[in-house]
């Protein structure tokens, strides 16, 4: 499965993150459910991630959201 890379801005800092398309879909669903843009959701995840890499923290957030009944497929 190919990773999909996206450029994002976190607190004014430009970076990029590569995730599988299924994780991007879950994160987009999570953001929509919370009434946030994807960028705003990633800022939240970034603020709470501690020492974990952002991509790992985003995957964990997506998996947790799907596990509690969020709409979005991670397969």
Distance CA 32, CA 11 (A): 20
pLDDT score for 10 = 85
Averaged pLDDT score across all residues of the chain: 90
pLDDT score for 58 = 97
Q: What is the mean pLDDT of residues 31-38?
A: 93
Q: What is the pTM of this model?
A: 0.85
Which helix H or strand E contains 19, and what residues bound it?
Answer: strand 13-19
């Amino acid at each position: 499965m190919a990773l999909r890379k996206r450029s994002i801005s976190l607190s004014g800092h430009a970076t990029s993150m590569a995730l599988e398309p299924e994780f991007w879909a879950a994160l987009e669903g999570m953001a929509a459910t919370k009434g946030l843009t994807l960028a705003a959701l990633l800022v939240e995840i970034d603020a709470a991630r501690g020492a974990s890499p952002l991509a790992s923290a985003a995957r964990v957030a997506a998996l947790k959201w799907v596990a509690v009944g969020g709409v979005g497929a991670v397969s």
